[in-house]
A and B are shown apart, each in its own frame.
Chain A
Amino acid sequence: MAVVAAKQDALGARIAGLALPDGGGWLGAARAEALARLAAMGLPGRRDEYWRFTDSATLNAPEAAAATLDNRAGAEAFSGIDRLRLVFVDGVFDAANSDDPKLAGVEIEPLGRAGGADIHWAQGLYGALEAQGQMPVPRPFAALNSAFASDGVLIRVTARADRPVSLIYRRKSDGSDVILHHCIKIEAGADLTLLESGPAAARFNSVLEVDVGDGAQFHHVRAQGRDPERRAVTHVFARLGAAARFKSFTLTANGLLTRNEVVVDLAGCDAVAHVAGAAMGDGRFHHDDTVFITHAAERCESRQVFKKVLKNGAVGVFQGKILVRPGAQKTDGYQISQALLLDGDSQFLAKPELEIHADDVKCSHGSTVGAIDENTLFYLRSRGVPMKAAQALLVLAFLAEAMAEIDDPAIAENIRQRLESWLAEHDGEGAR
Chain B
Amino acid sequence: MMLEINNLHVKLEEEDKVILKGLSLSVKAGSVHAIMGPNGSGKSTLSYVLAGKDGYRVTAGSATLDGADLLAMEPEARAAAGLFLAFQYPVEIPGVGNMTFLRTAVNAQRKTRGEPELSAGAFLKVIRAKAKALKIDAEMLKRPVNVGFSGGEKKRNEILQMAMLEPRMCILDETDSGLDVDAMKLVAEGVNALRDAGRAFLVITHYQRLLDHIAPDFVHIMADGRIIRSGGPELALEVEQNGYADLLAEEQ
Contact = CB atoms under 8 A, between A and B. Distances in A.
Interface stretch (A165-173, A183-191, A321-329, A371-379): A371-379
B85 A382 contact: yes
B156 to A, nearest CB: 16
Contacts of B96: 393-394, 396-397
B31 interface: no
Nearest to A389: B108
Contact of A384 (B54, B79, B94, B144): B79
Interface residues of B, number: 29
Interface in B103-150: 104-106, 108-109, 112, 144
B98 to A, nearest CB: 12
Nearest to B100: A393
Contacts of A400: 94-95
B76 interface: yes
- Size class of A's contact patch? 20 to 34
B44 to A, nearest CB: 13
Interface string A12-56: 000000000000000000000000000000000000000000000
Contact of B51 (A380, A382, A386): A382
A72 interface: no
B3 interface: no
B68 interface: no
Interface string B59-103: 000000000000000111011100011010011011110000100
B205 interface: no
Interface of B: 51-54, 74-76, 78-80, 84-85, 87, 90-91, 93-96, 101, 104-106, 108-109, 112, 144, 161, 165
Given A373-B91, A375-B91, 20 more contacts: A374-B54, A378-B54, A378-B75, A379-B90, A381-B74, A382-B79, A382-B85, A383-B105, A383-B108, A383-B109, A383-B161, A384-B108, A385-B76, A386-B74, A386-B76, A386-B112, A389-B104, A389-B108, A393-B96, A394-B93
18 contacts: A376-B91, A378-B51, A379-B90, A380-B105, A381-B52, A381-B75, A381-B79, A382-B51, A382-B76, A382-B87, A383-B105, A384-B79, A384-B106, A384-B108, A385-B104, A386-B74, A389-B108, A393-B101
